[in-house]
Amino acid sequence: MAGKSKFLRYFKEYRWSDIAAMIRNNRAEPEICHNDFTGRLVVITGATSGIGYVTARKYASRGADLLCINRNREKSETLRQEIEKEYGVQCGYRIADLAIMADIYRVAGDLAAMERPVDVLIHNAGVYMTRRELTPDGFEKVFVVQYLASFIINYLLMDKLKSQPRCRIILVNSEGHRFAAWGLHPDDLNWEKRRYTGLGSYGSAKLAQLLSMLIFDEQFKGTGVTVNAMHPGAVKTETGQDNGPVYKWFKRNFIDKTLKSPEMSAEALFWLGASGKVEGVSGKFFNLTAMENPAPPALDMEVARELWQISLEYSGLKQ
């Protein structure tokens, strides 16, 4: 009965005006911010390609120092040398596979132990799978990389961030959260009971991230920390490279040809991190730089609190 009642409730909460706004915003260009960011520290996950790479360069061009969390050491070193030579800022990195719990904990511990404040924390790393794949810890891979990693890092950084004058957390989310149109399945986050689909797992993970944002927003109330999510636009990225040759061929020859440059995503991520227009704004979903209502399941506080407890259990954290 609970599932049926949720379906009926969500169905009644959908608004054509919200869908129209999404379509309109998908065609819009992001607002541009020209603020200087010299001396600030920006932490970005997945910065060696796609949106993360262009965003790292964008912040560096405005004077920000960077700390990038990546899987590949060689690419990270190349990025460090490139940015420090071109922009004269500091560009450090940590190596971590955000599909592995030990790596997530290690990098979160490193960030929490830093004396320097984190001014902007951008959760950008992501993955898209066409077939269900488990991590070494036994969890569905998309769920961990797209959601649980950012949850753990944010949770373990709460005390540090609350002690700072300010910090902006930005979740690179997606309009794809709407693929989970009738809500999350807290009893099957690992996709053991349902037929696995790429769009389904991706939408569920992005929905979970939005639900966790509601609780983190509560946790940070009264502090200088804000947390927001954004859809980065239909842009070309390296997401999906873990899938087979058929998918990669289709993506390269069909999907990628319809996509835009990730420069627009970088502009939006800089605006969200640096613009005075979003000072103090928290717990919101943006399509690039346009504030937007997410799908009704993303606003369900009851499920958000249930997911929070499950996430603590999955990750081994305690209240």
Q: Which residues are catalytic?
A: 202
Return the amino acid letter for 306: E
Which structure tokens are listed for 65? 């120092």
User: In 3-state terms, what secondary structure has residue 217?
Assistant: helix
Which residues share a beta bridge with 228?
170
- Residue 115's alpha-carbon distances to 42, 133, 161, in angstroms, are 14, 37, 11
User: In 3-state terms, what secondary structure has residue 117?
Assistant: coil
Place of tokens 């939006």: 268
Residue spans of alpha helices (H) in the chain: 2-13, 16-26, 50-61, 73-87, 101-113, 141-143, 149-162, 198-219, 245-250, 263-274, 301-315
Instruction: Annotate 142-202 with DSSP letters as a single string.
Output: HHIIIIIHHHHHHHHHHHHHHTSS-EEEEEE--GGGGGSTT---GGGTT-SSS---HHHHH
138: left (phi over 0), alpha (psi -120 to 50) or beta: left
Which residues neighbour 9 within 8 Å (Cβ) at sequence distance 6 or greater? 296
Query: How many Cα atoms occupy the beta-carbon half-sphere of 141 within 13 Å?
Result: 19
CA distance 319 to 298: 23
CA distance 139 to 100: 9
CA distance 23 to 12: 20
